[in-house]
Amino acid sequence: MAAGRRAPPEPGGGPVLLQGIFGAGPTPGAAACSLALTARELQRLERTFRVSLGPDAEDNLRIAQAWSRRIRELSVPTVPTQDGDSYGVLPRPCRALVLVNPQSGAGRALEDFQAVVQPMLAEADIAATVFITERPHHAQEKVRDEDLSQWDTLVIMSGDGLLHEVVNGLMERPDWADAMQKPLCILPGGSGNALAASINYYAGNDHVAKKKLLTNCTFILCKGLHTQMDLVSLSTASGKRLFSFLGFGWGFISDVDIDSEKYRRLGNARFTLGTLQCLAKLRVYQGRLSYLPAVPEQGTPLAHRDPHAPITNGQAAHVLPPAGTEAPGALPADSLLVPLCQPVPAHWTVVPEEEFVTVYAIYQSHLGTNLLMAPAARLNDGCIHLFYLKAGISRLALLKIFLAMARGTHLDLNCPHLCYVRVQAFRLEPRAAAGIMTVDGEALACEPVQGQIHGRLCRVVSGS
Amino acid sequence: MGGSASMLPREALSEYQELTFLSKQEILLAYKRFSALLPKEERVNVCSARVPKSQILTLPELRANPFQHRICHVFSTSEDGDDSMSFEDFLDMLSVFSDSATSDIKSHYAFRIFDFDDDGTLDRKDLEKLVNCLTGQGEESRLSNMEMEQLIQNILEESDIDKDGTINLSEFQHVISRSPDFASSFKIIL
């Protein structure tokens, strides 16, 4: 900490890190600069430094403000130099539109926002305007028609479902390419939130839950660093096209995930008696799964596969054109996919088994707050992590896998029924309309679906 | 069935329709299936006969059910403690497991079924037994102690609202009411 005239140190005060969020304000009398520093353990510490260099109050104020400015500058996160152009920092002062679903978190989302988030944002010079959603698709409509130039960031305080609406609302705009440059931020609204848990994980934080996760994510927002995130474009047989940021699922995982209360998520429920119930009547679903393997990186094993899995040509398909090079206004083309009515391209892999307990394509690390499904996943790793559980797995093995998933060690169990492969695109054709399908945790009609990755299509506030 | 099977008296039929969630056809079918479990000579007076548990468990609908023993125990009114079932016990069971039974009724009975020590709450021992029923009875088909501990911890964290280390009926019903299709998995249709 730089030298200067200081007020007597507070009792028990110790060294503080100079990374933090803070505000400055003069107090009556001698100009003072008051800092609230957030130490590593995210406790709010307050230190007041009084400037009384000379008798002139205005002079003192100017010095205090200069200190304040300089300290603030020093606290701005260093933008990483590799991939330098893909990182950014939110401006200060920052104007944030905060979309809140008041029913999120068993109705406590708004309360938590006011109690936990708002004070931190105020100190970080982020002006928050709250928009309360009143029904499904409300958020989607809002961002679709909104004048985005008045906001520096769109903050979603709710579950993954609301972010899903926002992403799809933005993609509905004619100026989507610009709109998708607007950094999005997720704050867990009390219910389990897989993206928030993933971002917390990418930031190198310990696994935490609920309030602590909210504090961590708010801190990440206050730092203001943002980077690019992959999205997956999904197309269904009935002609729907959706953009997804978290995952697509079918079967057991989705069965447990969905119920009449739309806002409950697997991440929140973890293993309840309801999950055991699904386990009791373990169902098997028939369908065909095909995929285009991802381009292997140097030395990285492409898949955690069982020895009986098919060997493919291994050649990657044509390279994805960078987003934005299509005709203006046209949505990013799914250049890796052929229409659903045609067979998959020859260089794709078709899974020989046609009976599954579950298929889950995930593009973040966490399936739920407590389920680290794809430890290797990153925000912009350019691939989809495809998992499938073949029929024949015992209830015991399934239970063991999900228990191990809490620590991300399920792949070490080497269960022959669990398959994991990194892909750029996939297609799932259920034999019948059986089993629930989910996108980002929201229910979807069960029908043939295919999807492909679109690298770095949007921006999110993240810790690293 | 032959002529040796007796018929369910009409008053009994309407009474059972009143007292259970079962339809007329369902009751008649239950009567038929229950009679078939009795030795020939007892089929004359079906309504006062008791079928031993071992016979009940031969029913295909129960044979593969992980909780078959508990189900018999809960619905049996046998004073000998042998878990044998009378026709009315049998109807009670089918009624609770029928399509028309309310979620409240189902969760009430589910709770009793999972309450292995019949003490009115689901404690760790009950939950352990519950999980072991699901995973299988053999030594190799059990979770390790650590895994069991983790699972029970998760369940209690989610369901034990008053944090007393056990799940009581209302906590259970609260959790189950949010469960995907609890009702549809808690079904036995003959």
User: Is A400 within 8 Å of chain B by CB?
Assistant: yes
- Return the percentage of chain B with pLDDT > 90, whole number: 46
Task: Say if the ipTM goes beyond 0.85.
Answer: no
- Please tell me the distance from the alpha carbon of residue A53 to that of residue A24, in angstroms, as a whole number: 18
Q: Evaluate if residue A85 carries a pLDDT over 70.
A: no
Residue A130, φ and ψ in degrees, nearest 5? -90, 135
Cα B119–chain centre separation: 17
Residue A217 CB: number of other CB atoms within 10 A? 29
Chain B residues inside the 8 Å CB shell of A271: 151, 154-155, 158
Mean pLDDT to the nearest integer, A310-329: 44
The answer to whether the CB atoms of A406 and B181 lie below 8 A apart is: no
Token pair, residue A41, equals 């353990």
The answer to whether the CB atoms of B178 and A259 lie below 8 A apart is: yes
pTM: 0.77
Q: Evaluate if residue A255 carries a pLDDT over 70.
A: no
The answer to whether the CB atoms of A273 and B154 lie below 8 A apart is: no
**Residue-level length of chain B:** 190
The answer to whether the CB atoms of B147 and A403 lie below 8 A apart is: yes
B interface with A, Cβ–Cβ < 8 A, is 66, 114, 130-131, 134-136, 141-143, 147, 150-151, 154-155, 157-159, 172, 175-176, 178-182, 185-186
Nearest Cα of chain B lies from the Cα of A436 at a distance, in angstroms, of: 11
How confident is the model over B63-94, as pLDDT tens digits?
Answer: 878 888 999 999 999 998 899 999 999 999 99
Mean pLDDT to the nearest integer, B140-149: 87
Return the sign of the alpha-carbon dihedral for residues B83, B87, B89, B94: positive
**Range scoring the smallest mean pLDDT among A262-271, A295-304, A386-395, B132-141:** A262-271
Using DSSP's 3-state secondary structure scheme, residue A383 falls into: coil
Question: Which of B68, B112, B124, B134 to probe the A interface (max A CBs under 10 A)?
Answer: B134
- Output the average pLDDT for chain A: 79
Query: Which CATH code is given to the segment(s) B103-185?
Result: 1.10.238.10
Please give the domain boundaries of chain A with CATH numbers for all domains. Answer: 88-229 (3.40.50.10330), 234-295+334-456 (2.60.200.40)
Residue in B141, B147, B180 closest to A278 by CB:
B180
Token pair, residue A46, equals 């307050």
Nearest Cα of chain A lies from the Cα of B101 at a distance, in angstroms, of: 18
Mean pLDDT to the nearest integer, A373-387: 95
Q: Where are the alpha helices (DSSP H) in A94-137?
A: 104-107, 109-112, 118-123
Nearest Cα of chain B lies from the Cα of A379 at a distance, in angstroms, of: 28
Nearest chain A Cα to B145, which residue? A400
Residue A430, Cβ density class (10 Å: 0-12 exposed, 13-18 middle, ≥19 buried): buried
How confident is the model over A174-227, as pLDDT tens digits?
Answer: 999 999 999 999 999 856 589 999 999 999 988 887 788 899 999 999 999 999
User: Is A265 within 8 Å of chain B by CB?
Assistant: no
Question: Which of B108, B178, B182 to probe the A interface (max A CBs under 10 A)?
Answer: B178
Q: Evaluate if residue A302 carries a pLDDT over 50.
A: no
The larger pLDDT score, comparing residue A171 to residue A123, is at: A171
Mean pLDDT to the nearest integer, B152-174: 87
The answer to whether the CB atoms of A396 and B131 lie below 8 A apart is: no
Residue A304 CB: number of other CB atoms within 10 A? 17
User: Is A413 within 8 Å of chain B by CB?
Assistant: no
- For chain B, give the secondary structure using H, E and C: CCCCCCCCCHHHHHHHHHHCCCCHHHHHHHHHHHHHHCCHHHHHHHHHCEECHHHHCCCHHHHCCCCHHHHHHHHCCCCCCCCCEEHHHHHHHHHHCCCCCCHHHHHHHHHHHHCCCCCCCECHHHHHHHHHHHHCCCHHHCCCHHHHHHHHHHHHHHHCCCCCCCECHHHHHHHHHCCCCHHHHCCCCC
The answer to whether the CB atoms of B180 and A255 lie below 8 A apart is: yes
Annotated catalytic residues of A are 160
Residue A18, φ and ψ in degrees, nearest 5? -90, 25
Nearest Cα of chain A lies from the Cα of B132 at a distance, in angstroms, of: 9
Per-residue confidence (pLDDT) for residue A47, from 0 to 100 = 66
Cβ-Cβ contacts under 8 Å between A and B: the total is: 81
The answer to whether the CB atoms of A272 and B175 lie below 8 A apart is: yes
Mean pLDDT to the nearest integer, A45-71: 69
Amino acid identity at A97: L
Is residue A194 within 8 A of residue A161, CB to CB? The reply is no
- Please tell me the distance from the alpha carbon of residue A314 to that of residue B123, in angstroms, as a whole number: 53
Kindly give, in sequence order, each residue whose CB lies less than 8 Å from that of residue A349, ignoring residues fewer than 6 positions away.
A290, A291, A292, A293, A310, A312
Position A267 confidence tier, pLDDT thresholds 50, 70, 90: very low
Q: Evaluate if residue B95 carries a pLDDT over 90.
A: yes
Amino acid identity at B161: I
DSSP state of A391: T
Position B162 confidence tier, pLDDT thresholds 50, 70, 90: confident
The number of CA neighbours under 13 Å toward the Cβ of A316 is: 13
Per-residue confidence (pLDDT) for residue A51, from 0 to 100 = 65
Q: Which of A92, A64, A71, A69 is nearest to A16 (CA)?
A: A71
Domain chopping of chain B, boundaries: 12-96, 103-185
The answer to whether the CB atoms of A259 and B180 lie below 8 A apart is: yes
> Roughly how many angstroms between the first and final C-alpha of chain A, as a whole number?
25
**Residue-level length of chain A:** 464
The answer to whether the CB atoms of A400 and B130 lie below 8 A apart is: no
Strand A355-362 relative to strand A371-372, pairing: unpaired
Got the DSSP string for A280-328?
A: HT---EEEEEEEEEPPPPTT---EE--TTSPP------SPPPPTT-SST
Residue matched to tokens 């600069």: A33
Helix (H) or strand (E) holding A418: strand A418-430
- Please tell me the distance from the alpha carbon of residue A250 to that of residue A86, in angstroms, as a whole number: 33
Q: Evaluate if residue A39 carries a pLDDT over 60.
A: no
Q: Do domains B12-96 and B103-185 have the same CATH topology?
A: yes
Per-residue confidence (pLDDT) for residue B66, from 0 to 100 = 82
User: Is A415 within 8 Å of chain B by CB?
Assistant: no
Is residue B180 within 8 A of residue A258, CB to CB? The reply is yes
The CATH number, out of the four listed (1.10.238.10, 3.30.420.10, 3.40.50.300, 3.30.465.10), of the domain defined by the range B12-96: 1.10.238.10
